Amino acid sequence: MRRPDFLVLLFATSFLTTACDPVVVIDSDPETDPDPDPTPDPDPDPDPDPDPNPQPNAAFCANAELASDASTGVAATIDGAQANLVRWDGSVVQLNPWTEPPPADAYSVVNVASGGGLVTTSASWSRFDPPAERSFVKWFDRNGNLVDEWSSDTTLSVQSIGTDGTTVLYSWSSTAVPEPIVIRLPDGTRVGYAETQLFGGVLADGWVMFQRSGPKGNLEGIRFEQPSTGASRETVPSTYPIPTKRGFLYIERGEGSFWLVEETPEGPTVTVLTGIGEAEDLYIQGQSDVRTVLVRSYNGEPGWIVDLERGETRAIEVTSPAGMQPLQDSCELEMPGLLPNGDVLVTMRDDTTAQHFLLDPVSGAMTSVGHAIASPGWLGRSSRGGTLLLAGGNGFDTFCPIQGWSGQPPSSAVPIGVVQVVSEQTDTIHELATGDVWSLPWSHPISPDGGCVAGRENEEGTYTILDVRTGERVAAPAAGAWQWL
């Protein structure tokens, strides 16, 4: 049986760096420069015009786009009850999450989250089972400077941080809490709500969504709310929606056709799904960063790509390569997926291996991606910033294992338990051995630009930091999951 997915929020303890070449500074003012040669000196020590403020070098993933300079924090870790900010130059800034130290006999928990240029720590302690007897939340900038801090006699946990720094927190206790959802605005203002269910994350301009449920847990409505102004709008989707960065999506069935409805704070936008015919009920399987949505039916078709900008629906047409067929698990489910860049990831199989392909939904062209995987029982994958992670695991990790393998896989096939790191920009493939393929993507977080991967090698928490563009690796012993900012 597959282990439950969960997001680990206890992070790495320390960082091991490698030496880098010194920064070479080119003179910027040759008229008054006693050394006007625009060519950098090969030996900077005797340079008559040295840079008075030399910039530090990146200690890892120097080719990535992690920050504006190497002295800025790019990741967060946890060292026991102490939080850390890891800068790009490899230095570590301690972020004390405690306003008051926990009692010696108490059980304490520290979590870290980030967004909108901020890093938050949530620390709580209790002598018995949760909820906490005391909680503290702090906000820091990416240089480690304290911005704000709250304390509470209830459990306070950060749920979401918007691009503008709007932070949503849950407050709960063994007794009734009058305002279970508390929001910190970018200016530090605190706004509380009696609602208990948040839907999705913080949207643009600080909008949030509250879910209203009936007595049996059925969805009765979703309300958009902008805490800074008090503006709100409520709507009732006819089918269960999925959250997006702009609001939420759901499918409406009309007379003889389906509609894809996108709800935002400004109102609904309806796209008629053409060319689907008499399909069974549809569901939304995924969405991309380029405003396309993967819609599938329950009767086994590969699905349709809906372009929200153009208002177009296009059927996914998959042509199996010679000797291969679409891969299905034992629940007879195929495994297409929509990547952030809008490509469709499809998986084919023969008797011994599984092979992933990228399908261009417009031209229909298919290109193999990554190496073939030897007889996997299930497949894990993750994508961000043009970097794709592919892995195969044992069948006992899922309720619907892939079956029917026969024969010996070729020696070139990647065994299960190995994560392939594939760069869509450079066509390079790296491999990371790991004991945690079942926990993708959280065990191997990708940096926002896709240039760096922190790969958890085993359940003891040993990490490898991989530069996707160069293949350079830096060992980073860690007690928990690594989080990029």
Q: Is residue 271 part of a domain?
A: yes
The single-letter code of the amino acid at 70 is: A
CA dist 423 and 337 (Å) reads 17
- Each residue's pLDDT tens digit, 19-37: 333 333 333 344 454 555 5
Instruction: Give the list of residues 6+ apart from residue 241 with CB closer than 8 angstroms, or none.
Output: 199, 219, 222, 248, 249, 250, 263
241 pLDDT exceeds 60? yes
pLDDT of 362: 82
Of 90, 50, 96, 95, nearest to 71 by C-alpha is 90
Q: Which of residues 124 and 50 earns the better pLDDT score? A: 124
Q: Is residue 240 part of a domain?
A: no
Percent of the chain with pLDDT over 70: 86
Number of H helices, E strands in the chain: 0, 35
In a domain, 293, yes or no: yes
Let me know if residue 304 belongs to a domain: yes
Q: Residue 282: inside a domain, yes or no? A: yes
- Please state the rounded mean pLDDT for residues 76-82: 82
**pLDDT confidence band for 279 (50 / 70 / 90):** low
Give domain status of residue 375, yes or no.
no
Confidence of residue 11 (pLDDT cuts 50, 70, 90): very low
Of 5-14, 62-71, 277-286, which gets the smallest average pLDDT? 5-14
266: phi then psi, degrees, rounded to nearest 5: -80, -20
Strands 146-152 and 155-161 come out as: unpaired
Residue-wise pLDDT tens digits, 438-480 = 777 778 899 999 999 998 776 666 778 999 999 999 877 455 5
- The stretch 160-167 carries a mean pLDDT of 96
Closest among 266, 384, 368, 378 to 329, alpha carbons compared: 378
Question: Which two tokens mark 380?
Answer: 């894990």
pLDDT(384) > 70: yes
Residue 284 lies in a domain: yes
Nearest in space to 316 (alpha carbons), one of 282, 348, 276, 355:
276
| pLDDT at residue 324 is higher than 80 | yes
Q: Is the pLDDT of residue 12 over 60?
A: no
393 within 8 A of 435, measured Cβ to Cβ: no
Higher pLDDT, 45 or 229: 229
Query: Does any domain span residue 279?
Result: yes
Rounded Cα–Cα distance for residues 227 and 165 (Å): 13
Structural domain of 279: 248-316
Q: What is the number of domains present in the chain?
A: 1
> How does residue 215 score in pLDDT terms, banded at 50, 70 and 90?
confident
Name the nearest CA neighbour of 91 among 59, 51, 134: 59
Q: What is the mean pLDDT of residues 363-392?
A: 92
Q: Which tens digit of pLDDT belongs to each residue from 243-266?
A: 999 999 999 987 778 999 999 999
Long-range contacts of 152-158 (CB under 8 A, 24+ apart): 155/124, 155/130, 155/131, 156/122, 156/124, 156/182, 157/111, 157/122, 157/124, 158/111, 158/113, 158/120, 158/122
